Structure 1
């Protein structure tokens, strides 16, 4: 399930990495059709479970994964981004 892969990825971020992730999440350039970011006030106290729910409810499962991997790449967590990409692609086959 995409949601589980997304949650596992976010749960494995260290506290400082999660803080950087949330900060970059509000700055990342979104694709056309996605005009708004998750509000910063919703992100501030969100843990991995809450953040997963916010991302999915705001963007839908597939674009939530895309946004997450873009942010992970932007904060130099490329290995995690690649694992998430592979896990979600494998889950779709």
Structure 2
């Protein structure tokens, strides 16, 4: 069985260094979201490691939008390579 979108999301977040993870969480709280979605409260994000952060993203945004939000944030913090890898990996899984 191949990797799920959740697996790809987790793998992507695990690739962030500590400082990059802080920047990711900070940007996550102020990006523009689609109508009907709310930001994850900062208090939930502060100590979240990749596994917890993945769970938070999916529980708040559902898996497809969580991937979209993650790629938007990665691009906003100049992690375009990671964003592109995530986009390709999750698109391949949808075919």
- Shorter-normalised TM-score: what interval? over 0.9
Return the TM-score normalized by structure 2.
0.95
- The CA RMSD measured in Å over matched residues stands at 0.5
2:68 aligns with: 66
Return the TM-score normalized by structure 1.
0.97
Give, in whole Å, the separation in 1 of the partners of 2:36 and 2:71: 18
1:24 aligns with: 27
Give, in whole Å, the separation in 2 of the partners of 1:5 and 1:22: 18
**Cα deviation digits, residues 41-89 of structure 1 (max 9, x gap):** 0000000000000000010000000000000000000010000000000
Give, in whole Å, the separation in 2 of the partners of 1:39 and 1:68: 16
How many residue pairs match? The answer is 92
Instruction: Map 1:1-93; keep pairs closer than 5 Å.
Output: 1-34=4-37, 36-93=38-95
Give, in whole Å, the separation in 2 of the partners of 1:58 and 1:33: 11
Q: 1:33 offset after TM fit, Å?
A: 2.3
Q: Which runs of 5+ in 2 are unaligned?
A: none
Q: Which runs of 5+ in 1 are unaligned?
A: none
